[in-house]
Amino acid sequence: MLRIPNQEPPLLTNPLLIIFNSTPFQVAVLALLTLLVSTYTLSLFNFIRTRNSQRPGKPAPTLPYYLPGLCHAFDLEWSMASFLANTVKRWGYLSPIAVRAGSFGFTMIVNPSHIRTILRSSRTLTNRPMMAFVMEKWFSTPKEYLRFYAAHDPSTSTPGGTLEHMHDFQVKVSLKYLSGKHLLEMSEKYISILKSRLVNLEIPTDSCTEISDFYTWLQNQVTPSIIEAMMGSRILEIYPDIVEDFWKFEHQVANYSRGLPRWMIPSAYKTRDRLLANIKAWNRLANRESDYAQHGEEGAEWDEFFGTKFIKAREDYLREYGMNEDAIASEHLGLLFGSNANVVPAVFWYIFESFKDLELQESLKTELQDCLKPETGDLDIPKLSTKPLLQSTYAEVLRLRVTTTTMRTNEDANFKLGPDYAIDKDVTMTIFSSITAYNRLAWEAARPESIAKPLDEFWSERFLVLRNKKEANFSLEGLTECWMPYGGGQRMCPGRHFAKNVIIGTLGLLLELFECELVDVQQAERVKPDTKWVPYGTLPPTKKVALRLRTRTE
């Protein structure tokens, strides 16, 4: 008979198995799971109870969470885009929703009626706390000057002798010099500079030039053209690496916001230091060679040192406020960011969508052709804003690709958000454009025909309204709480008109000068916006896009 020898059970040699099978470890895991489940259960109960309460003036319910203390910090850091989408998918657009990440917190405003209330309350609400945060964390404004941005009752007088907040004077200067004849002059200057830059590339007429990374190529053409049109040509001469350094800086904005120390991201801080140092050097040169005070009617509209009257007027005010060179350099870096970081990616998406769809491209060409001045063949900038499809395509690009935040705070008292809710004093209320862009119920209520195609699809005709059987007009009427790429209310971005001219005008120039085509249309269909950059502005593409160019002969 076969005898089976006695066998000892195998030893547990895997360290992980030893740990997992140890009683203390099992107890710790069980305790952790119990803590997480009980925390979520309790926070869910409080959320539902607050939301269903009939008490007028109740607080915004806090979104359920698993992590005591940290609350929603992990979700926010892991993927802001997923966090926002999942929140409204589960809880809808009914109530404001309080979000917490440690000591940091804000209240999401998602209900269109609540958004409307906030946008109409510009006299009582402010964005000063956010302004101060951005100026300090992103643009490295010296601490002693942050009071100009954050102070509720500023102690500095304006040239007119009345108390005024720094942001208020900036808006007034921007409204004056980014509209009317000044806007037209700067827009035409941009088109002229970009055209010269593109012509000087000497792209041949008898063969195609392939651009492997169209997005980076556009950055290198559009960004210096915006800088020169707005700030003059000398800054590019004394700082030829400004475009490269700017986009390196822009890539680190999220890390600046997180407050990561210099030793963790040394190259990011070095890039910003280099930008500020060179901007300060340009500012000294401009003040020495250009009379920045001549920004009145008698002054030149543009000069090589300071650029436009807009920059001269800003400089005048900043010096009246007593700001030093470092604070002024931070202001100019902020302006560089505001005029490029969102606009250039939007230019890319506008051109990209028109190149993907040849039928759309031909329709846009027809409208652009009608915007040429008969005597010169140059673009008639004001006429761009009369063409329905050019504008509708532009609005649809911004709806899908811009993910900005509109932040408001009441520094004086609790803020009544309709009859049901009251937001505590000094709590930041945040409206995310990426949420308003996809609120189907709001779009349907405002304009039913706008959702003939799903909101998660690009549709160039979404903003067209049929006025009669033959003619469609572009319109944003009734969409204030749905379309918010520039924010809303009286504090809407004052540079939006220049941005629009840059976006549409750049496509016009490319189609005028070159025959353009995507190298791989099928691959282009897989290019999506990179949602890792939500909510820091216009989203870049996830993949490189290759393009062929050939100079037109006609």
Lookup: tokens for 223: 């960004």
Strands annotated E in 418-462:
421-423, 429-432
Q: Do 354 and 305 fall within a single domain?
A: yes
The answer to whether position 170 is within a domain reads yes
The answer to whether position 430 is within a domain reads no
Return d(Cα 286, Cα 290) in angstroms, integer: 5
Q: Which of 135, 169, 194 is the last residue of a domain?
A: 135
Return d(Cα 462, Cα 230) in angstroms, integer: 32
- pLDDT of res. 158: 44
Q: Do 32 and 174 fall within a single domain?
A: no
Contact 537, 344 (CB under 8 A): no
The answer to whether position 322 is within a domain reads yes
The answer to whether position 427 is within a domain reads no
- pLDDT of res. 41: 95
Using alpha carbons, list the distances in angstroms from residue 88 to 336, 366, 424, 462.
Answer: 34, 40, 22, 23
Contact 154, 347 (CB under 8 A): no
Q: Do 399 and 511 fall within a single domain?
A: yes
The answer to whether position 5 is within a domain reads no
Q: Which of 135, 159, 185 is the last residue of a domain?
A: 135
Digits of tens for pLDDT over the chain (554 positions)? Answer: 445 455 555 554 555 555 556 688 777 888 888 888 999 999 999 999 999 999 999 999 999 999 999 999 999 999 999 999 999 999 999 999 999 998 889 999 999 999 999 999 988 898 888 999 999 999 999 999 998 888 664 444 344 444 355 666 667 788 889 999 999 999 999 999 999 999 999 999 889 999 999 999 999 999 999 999 999 999 999 999 999 999 999 999 999 999 999 999 999 999 999 999 999 999 999 999 887 656 556 778 899 999 999 998 888 888 888 899 999 999 999 999 999 999 999 999 999 999 999 999 999 999 999 999 999 989 999 999 999 999 999 999 999 999 999 999 998 899 999 899 999 999 999 999 999 999 999 999 999 999 999 999 999 999 999 877 778 999 999 999 999 999 988 888 999 999 999 999 999 999 999 999 999 988 888 999 999 999 999 999 999 999 999 999 87
The answer to whether position 114 is within a domain reads yes
Is 442 exposed, middle or buried (CB count within 10 Å of its CB: 0-12, 13-18, 19+)? buried
- CB contact set of 263 (below 8 Å; sequence gap of 6+): none
- pLDDT of res. 199: 95
- CB contact set of 65 (below 8 Å; sequence gap of 6+): 39, 40, 43, 71, 72, 100
Q: Do 43 and 188 fall within a single domain?
A: no
Residue positions forming the annotated binding site for heme? 493
| Strand-by-strand arrangement of the 429-432 sheet | 97-101, 104-108, 429-432, 405-408
Q: Find the length of the chain.
A: 554
Burial 93-120 (b: 16+ CB within 10 A, else e): bebbbbbbbeeeebbbbbbbebbebbbe
Q: Do 199 and 301 fall within a single domain?
A: yes
Q: Do 182 and 36 fall within a single domain?
A: no
Return d(Cα 513, Cα 552) in angstroms, integer: 6
Return d(Cα 317, Cα 177) in angstroms, integer: 13
- pLDDT of res. 412: 87
Q: What is the DSSP letter of 186?
A: H
Contact 306, 292 (CB under 8 A): yes
Using alpha carbons, list the distances in angstroms from residue 140 to 88, 98, 351.
Answer: 35, 29, 34
The answer to whether position 469 is within a domain reads no
Return d(Cα 442, Cα 481) in angstroms, integer: 8
Q: Do 504 and 383 fall within a single domain?
A: yes
- pLDDT of res. 359: 96
- pLDDT of res. 168: 64
Q: Do 144 and 131 fall within a single domain?
A: no
Q: What is the DSSP letter of 543?
A: S
Residue positions forming the annotated binding site? 493
Return d(Cα 275, Cα 242) in angstroms, integer: 7
Furthest C-alpha separation in the chain: 117
Supply the range of the domain harboring residue 88: 18-135
CATH classification at residue 387: 1.10.630.10
The answer to whether position 159 is within a domain reads yes
Looking at 179-308, list the stretches that DSSP marks H as alpha helix, in order from N- to C-terminal side: 180-199, 214-231, 234-238, 242-250, 253-258, 266-289
- pLDDT of res. 395: 98
Q: State the amino acid at position 329 in one-letter form.
A: A
Nearest to 417 by CA among 45, 85, 118: 118
Q: Do 285 and 240 fall within a single domain?
A: yes
Q: Which of 135, 160, 186 is the last residue of a domain?
A: 135
Query: How many folded domains does the chain comprise?
Result: 2
Q: Do 259 and 149 fall within a single domain?
A: yes
Phi first, then psi, for residue 302 (nearest 5°) are -155, 140
Q: Do 313 and 176 fall within a single domain?
A: yes
Q: Do 255 and 340 fall within a single domain?
A: yes
Looking at 373-470, list the stretches that DSSP marks H as alpha helix, in order from N- to C-terminal side: 381-384, 388-401, 433-436, 440-446
- CB contact set of 356 (below 8 Å; sequence gap of 6+): 518, 521, 524, 525
Q: What is the DSSP letter of 144?
A: G
